[in-house]
Structure 1
Amino acid sequence: MNFAKYRQGRISPDFAWVFSLFSVLLLCYVYFFPRWADPNQNSRLDMVFAVVEDGTFQIDKYVANTVDYAKVGEHYYSDKAPGAAFLGIPLYAALRPLLETPLIGALTTRLESHRAFASTLRAEGTGVSAQKVRFAIVQVYLSFFVSALPTAALAALLFLWLRAVTPLAQPRAVIALGYGLATPVFAYANAFYGHQLAAFLLFLAFFLLARAPAQVGAMRACLVGLLLGYAFITEYPVALMAAPIGLYGLYQFWRRQQRAPFFWLVVGGAIVAAGWMAYNTAIFGGPLELGYSRSELWTEQHHTGFMSLTAPTLDAVWGITFSPFRGLFLLSPWLLWAPPGFALWRRSGVLRAEWWLTLAVVVGMFLFNASSSMWWGGFAVGPRYLLPMLPFLALPTAFVLVAWGEQLWLRLTLALSLLWSLVAVWSMTLAEQAFPSDALRNPWAEHVLPNWAVGNIARNFGTVLGLEGVWSLTPLMLLLALAAVAWRWLVPLQPREALFSKEGRSSLEIEAESGNRLMELNK
């Protein structure tokens, strides 16, 4: 950042907020390493290794480290949606030459004799080896690009989109930080899963449509199609989100009386679909054949109903909302402000199309999760199938802050709910070296408390520095404290009257008029 220009008011204050939010979130994500021996992540990693090392999609050489595989004939393949692994292939190919240096041997030797690192290994495990270290390095590297960066960028986009609701940066930052650090998103932000990549792609598509200029160009429309298509091949259930976002785009084009963007949006999606169908045909024998149909794990669930979907059940509804097992609102009670936020948003009369889209996305994904025969998602922190829709669930909370933000009771209850969410999410995410097992019906009593009591904390950079247990969090706390001090120095530099220029506003911002109508309703 050019601080001289910033002080002169030549750089938007929003840039400082975005830069700071992105940096703090990325620091918190990458400080903690992805879980080793995670079958879900390993399934994708195996595919990356097989393609780069052996020139094949067959993961026969690596399949022993996962149970998430598809068997076709005598060969094994990843049964996961391939989007995250497709991105990982060129990334690993670029990294591979560096791994042929003596670095691996030196690092392996250090870890073998590293007391703090050894304390995180299971006694019944097989210890540290060069191959394991290489695998872990690649996992950390790929998770950074495929999950951590997109998640931090998504929170920044959330902050920018909320400009349409309020010009004030503070409430928008609260929501962006709440999303990034006080929801189950934090647990998966630096893991080689597909949820957060899909969430970023979907929200970016939504952002590009909402902030589109009066004349939508072919490149933007095609990019939106590519984003929606790639989100689908990264996590198949997000079809329930991609479809409403696509319809929202068509509505935007229709309202502008433009036909060409519709064509280019379809072209973008078709390009991704063609590549995905070719992959399915080559591996599983048909363009719409999925790896899950050949999976040897959870076969009963996969063949229940339509692709494991039946009808919503009370057990699932309770399980993904308030249960100690996987309850979202027990982990992140601040999201309970979303329902009144939806009501206030509707009452405000602004952003009607966006209101309908957000409601459709939230309800659709909730019904999907409640209808799944495997709604708990295996080893997990919270209901992980809901992760892609969480940024949309966070949007309505901005209307609560705009309408009631000056009232003391709202500030206190919101602060307390955010504090609980932060403590709950971090304590469950960081307990032990794996996410809570689905065999534990109360992970708080059976997983979180026992592991924190003995200092069994997820591996992190503090561990590498030789710090054990809770003390391994000390460097992160110091870095965050320094960031807070730096931010206190930056905040006074922001000219309040220059929060937002009226030039170059998108149609979204013009329609919303910065939430003024909502505030008028609640005076």
Structure 2
Amino acid sequence: MALFLGALVLNLLITYGGVRPVDSEVVFELCESLATRGALDVEGTPVWKGFGIAPGKDGRLYPIFGPGESFACVPMLVLLRGLNRTGWYESGLLPPLHPSHYLPEAHERFTAGLPPLDLVPHAERLALPLLNVLVGALGVLVFWRIASRLSRHPAAALGVTVLYGLGTLAWPYAGDAFSEPLATLLCLVAFELLLRVDASPPATLLWAGLALGGAIATHVTAVLFVPFFAALALRGAEHRWRKGAFLLAGLGVMLLALGSYNFVRFGSPWETGRHVDPELVLRYGYGQSVAPWEGLFGLTLSAGKGLFLYSPAVLLGLFAWPTFHREHRFLSSMLAGAALLRLVFIATRSDWHGGFSLGPRMLVMLIPFLLIPVVPWLDHKLAEGSGRALRLFAGFSVLCIAQQVAFCVGEVFSYYHLVREFYAAQGINIFEENRIYLDWEVSPLQFLLEGNRGPWLLSTLPVDNYTLWGLMTALLAALYFIGARRVVRLSHGASVPPGVNG
């Protein structure tokens, strides 16, 4: 509970408090339609200029993105509307609302440091980032449950969980409104259920299938996990057919619902809306198949989207993989296959970069699974009493946390808009050959803190972004080292049996 509440508070502290990416604006519009009219179509705003929506078979406009986050957001929006009747956003008790970017004049007012003109639609859009605040904290909790099953020492599970929650892109993404946090949470839930299926009724696989199907309905690329999760479910010789039936039933229910959703809108269970209008495909460059070479480099080492640069904690996972493979050979092979398939598949898409977003957005779902190998490695180091290895792990974790603090303090969406406008004024197309995502001269790694501030609740603090980053980093580092010393001492000699072998 302390872990969950701590993650919840820190996520709330850095939440943007508004909708920045255009994809999330479309997702919110569907949530609003569901809550207000019980309808699946959206009305849109003039600022969109058509991105992310497509005409359905009835002529109405529908989102092209998965509906999972929109449906999950409805209770939050209903709750927030009730709270908004009090006019809390005009009370002055909290900083002025951050404008959501895709309402008239909103982006211009945000970059000028001004609050919105009409507060009501912006106050309602808080529902989406607040949903991610909760979802991100739940993701940390589920990761801790997984880590606890793979470790004997509680400190190992806790240490890697803190690294995941604060030292990877999971933290800054919990502050925005993208669908990745919810899709990641549902994948983690499915994985955790699959890990304990041998000690649980086979019906547990029904819930795992439902969770995995929900992830696919939230972000369609979650389907890449299906063959590997299915292999995990069917391992062993006992009750294989029964296990498969339960998993398929849960997954099938969600896929049937998703197919029906597509059929109602576009007349085909396979059509998400991305290809119903060839003109929209050409205008907005929806993902097309390309050679993977640029994407492979871009997703791993590029200045704007490299996973190893924006979430270097995964490098520790690669370092720890041999230990993981020796102890959990099947899990190791399964996760390695899932990682390679996702990396190569995303690299073959022309939109591998994920647009205006922080780092490799399309790989965010993979990050917790790349950190799992660290758990048995750290478990061994605790058992050996290797002070040097523990100090190195703690120091590396704090450095990773410091980097993510910078990503939380800065605001990548308006940053990319400023880059686009700067080069457009010089007659330069910065999108040509994906320069905006590949060149170091425009990399958020170097210049993000020189742009606007991201967190809504910290927006009025009278310090610059660099000072705020330093203060937050120093505070979190101090808390980390104090907590680490206490946890290691309390857990000395304590152990729990690992939940999965082989």
TM-score of the superposition, structure 2-length normalised?
0.81
Q: Provide the C-alpha distance between the structure 1 equivalents of 2:401 and 2:77, rounded to a whole number of angstroms.
A: 33
Task: Read off the aligned partner of 2:329 and give its amino acid letter.
Answer: R
Aligned residue for 1:128? Answer: 116
Secondary structure of the structure 2 residue equivalent to 1:77: strand
Task: Read off the aligned partner of 2:372 and give its amino acid letter.
Answer: L
Aligned residue for 1:96? Answer: 81
Aligned residue for 2:130? Answer: 144
1:331 to 2:310 alignment: yes
Q: Provide the C-alpha distance between the structure 1 equivalents of 2:395 and 2:280, rounded to a whole number of angstroms.
A: 39
Cα displacement (A) at 1:408: 6.6
Equivalenced residue count is 473
Aligned residue for 2:353? Answer: 376
Choose the corresponding residue for 1:308, options 288, 298, 304: 288
Runs of at least 5 residues in structure 1 that lack an aligned partner in the other structure: 1-18, 513-523
* Residues 344-373 of structure 1: per-residue CA shift (max 9 Å, x gap): 322x2x323212221121111111222121
Secondary structure of the structure 1 residue equivalent to 2:413: coil
Secondary structure of the structure 2 residue equivalent to 1:31: helix
Aligned residue for 2:195? Answer: 210
Alignment map for 1:306-455 (pairs within 5 Å):
308-311=288-291, 313-346=292-325, 348=326, 350-402=327-379, 410-411=389-390, 414-415=393-394, 417-432=396-411, 434=413, 436-437=415-416, 439=436, 441-442=438-439, 447=444, 449-450=446-447, 452-453=449-450
Choose the corresponding residue for 2:176, options 187, 191, 214: 191
Cα displacement (A) at 1:283: 1.1
Cα displacement (A) at 1:83: 0.9
Aligned residue for 1:6? Answer: none
Alignment map for 1:45-84 (pairs within 5 Å):
45-62=28-45, 64-65=47-48, 67-72=51-56, 74-84=59-69
1:42 to 2:30 alignment: no
Change (3 A) 1:260 1:101: same
Secondary structure of the structure 1 residue equivalent to 2:96: helix
* Residues 417-448 of structure 1: per-residue CA shift (max 9 Å, x gap): 43443333332343236265373544675546
| Identical-pair percentage | 19
Aligned residue for 2:212? Answer: 228
Task: Read off the aligned partner of 1:385 and give its amino acid letter.
Answer: M
Q: Quick check: 1:165–1:398 contact (8 Å CA) kept in 2?
A: yes
Secondary structure of the structure 2 residue equivalent to 1:293: coil
Change (3 A) 1:209 1:302: farther
Change (3 A) 1:262 1:452: closer
Aligned residue for 1:284? Answer: 266
Choose the corresponding residue for 2:144, options 159, 174, 194: 159
Cα displacement (A) at 1:78: 1.6
Q: Quick check: 2:19–2:129 contact (8 Å CA) kept in 1?
A: no
Please report the RMSD computed on the Cα atoms of aligned residues, expressed in angstroms. 3.8
Aligned residue for 2:428? Answer: none
Task: Read off the aligned partner of 2:449 and give its amino acid letter.
Answer: W
Q: Provide the C-alpha distance between the structure 2 equivalents of 1:153 and 1:112, rounded to a whole number of angstroms.
A: 25
Q: Provide the C-alpha distance between the structure 1 equivalents of 2:242 and 2:347, rounded to a whole number of angstroms.
A: 38
Change (3 A) 1:300 1:171: farther
Residues 240-249 or 399-408, more deviating: 399-408
Residues 275-284 or 90-99, more deviating: 90-99
Aligned residue for 2:459? Answer: 463
Change (3 A) 1:459 1:143: closer
Cα displacement (A) at 1:325: 1.9
Secondary structure of the structure 2 residue equivalent to 1:158: helix
Cα displacement (A) at 1:151: 2.5
Q: Provide the C-alpha distance between the structure 2 equivalents of 1:368 and 1:138, rounded to a whole number of angstroms.
A: 36
Aligned residue for 1:11? Answer: none
Cα displacement (A) at 1:175: 1.7
Secondary structure of the structure 2 residue equivalent to 1:461: coil
Cα displacement (A) at 1:295: 6.7
Secondary structure of the structure 2 residue equivalent to 1:60: coil
